[in-house]
């Protein structure tokens, strides 16, 4: 049996008995956005460190657990804290949590992150719907033998972000009168923030926002047939676009400031996604 497949199966077997329900939607909470989970009654929690072989994040601001709860009556598993490639984990481990949530039964993946704005039409504090993505210098999570149980060897990536789910987020933002930007997310490895020249390169490639997560998870998730939705919190303008040096503290502070709006938008969108898709 393929070792990557086996590892996901082993993780699943070890937690199967602790799942309070089969989640419909998997929500990945990005840097500084993990507190969203605190507003919901916890119907079950699984610490990453209690799952055999599971990668545990080392980044401040990233807790490490799955939380099970209902958002607008939709059964949701939330990932409070994700694992990043720059932490040194193999790519197969970085996307393992997303694969595991699919194994739990999730059909929709809602990815969130904090990102730097590379487009001059973005400002710190904006929320950006991810329309498409670019993976830059980050290895594909699909390299290696294909796991046929999960998906095709050469999966189509022409609609990574589901058009119907994008409409659900747009409609939710309009109802809540929350301004919503849209754009292309580009993933670099990090962990250093980019140089100004790298940001010019990203812009030239067609990126609106840059970050260190998400695109690899989306590729692994699309391969497995998830329907995907992505939302970035623009925590800062990217390197070279302002005079202030970038810091993780600034990223967290902006995420904290935007958290109430972010939370409302995510919750409304989740309710609408379930109605639209079924």
Compute φ and ψ for 58, nearest 5 degrees.
Answer: -110, 5
- Between 79 and 147, CB nearer to ligand HPA: 79
Dig out the tokens for 187 from the structure: 């993933």
- Between 114 and 261, CB nearer to ligand HPA: 114
171 is a catalytic site residue = no
H/E run at residue 106: none
87 is a catalytic site residue = yes
Q: Please, what is the minimum distance in Å from the beta carbon of residue 14 to ligand HPA?
A: 32
79 is a catalytic site residue = no
Alpha-carbon distance of 206 to 119, in angstroms, equals 9
Residue among 37, 92, 104, 114 flagged as catalytic: 114
Alpha-carbon distance of 70 to 72, in angstroms, equals 6
Span of 5-13, 82-90, 113-121, 177-185 interacting with ligand HPA by CB under 6 A: 113-121
62 is a catalytic site residue = yes
Q: Which residues contact 57 (CB under 8 A, 6 or more apart)?
A: 48, 64, 81, 82, 83, 84, 87
Dig out the tokens for 111 from the structure: 């990815």
Residue with tokens 């609408």: 272
In contact, 81 and 34? CB cutoff 8 Å: yes
183 scored as a contact of ligand HPA (CB under 6 A): no
250 is a catalytic site residue = no
36 scored as a contact of ligand HPA (CB under 6 A): no
**Contact mark string toward ligand HPA, 206..235, x via CB under 6 A:** ----xxx----------------------x
104 is a catalytic site residue = no
**Number of helices and strands (H, E) in the chain?**
7, 9
Nearest to 229 by CA among 214, 216, 241, 239: 214
- Between 23 and 30, CB nearer to ligand HPA: 30
- Between 77 and 246, CB nearer to ligand HPA: 246
Chain positions contacting ligand HPA, by CB under 6 A? 114-116, 193-194, 210-212, 235-236, 238, 246, 251
Which residues are part of the catalytic machinery? 31, 62, 84, 86-87, 114, 212-213, 236, 248
């Amino acid at each position: 049996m393929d070792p990557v497949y086996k590892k996901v199966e082993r993780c699943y077997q070890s937690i199967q008995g602790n799942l309070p329900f089969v989640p419909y939607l998997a929500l990945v909470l990005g840097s500084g956005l993990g507190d969203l989970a605190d507003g919901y009654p916890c119907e079950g929690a699984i610490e990453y460190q209690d799952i055999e072989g599971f990668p545990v994040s080392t980044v401040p601001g990233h807790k490490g657990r799955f939380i099970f709860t209902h958002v607008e009556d939709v059964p949701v598993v939330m990932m409070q804290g994700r694992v990043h490639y720059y932490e040194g984990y193999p790519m197969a481990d970085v996307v393992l949590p997303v694969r595991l949530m699919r194994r739990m039964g999730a059909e929709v993946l809602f990815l969130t992150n904090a990102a730097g704005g590379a487009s001059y039409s973005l400002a710190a504090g904006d929320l950006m719907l991810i329309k498409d993505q670019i993976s830059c210098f980050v290895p594909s999570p699909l390299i290696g033998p294909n796991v046929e149980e999960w998906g095709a060897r050469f999966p189509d990536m022409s609609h990574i972000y589901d058009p119907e789910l994008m409409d659900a987020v747009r409609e939710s933002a309009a109802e809540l009168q929350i301004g919503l930007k849209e754009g292309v997310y580009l993933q670099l490895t990090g962990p250093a923030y980019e140089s100004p020249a790298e940001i010019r390169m990203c812009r030239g490639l067609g990126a609106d926002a840059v970050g260190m997560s998400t695109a690899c998870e989306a590729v692994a998730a699309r391969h497995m047939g998830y329907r995907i939705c992505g939302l970035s919190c623009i925590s800062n303008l990217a390197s070279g676009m302002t005079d202030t040096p970038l810091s993780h503290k600034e990223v967290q502070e902006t995420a904290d400031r935007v958290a109430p709006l972010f939370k409302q938008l995510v919750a409304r969108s989740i309710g609408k996604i379930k109605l639209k898709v079924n």
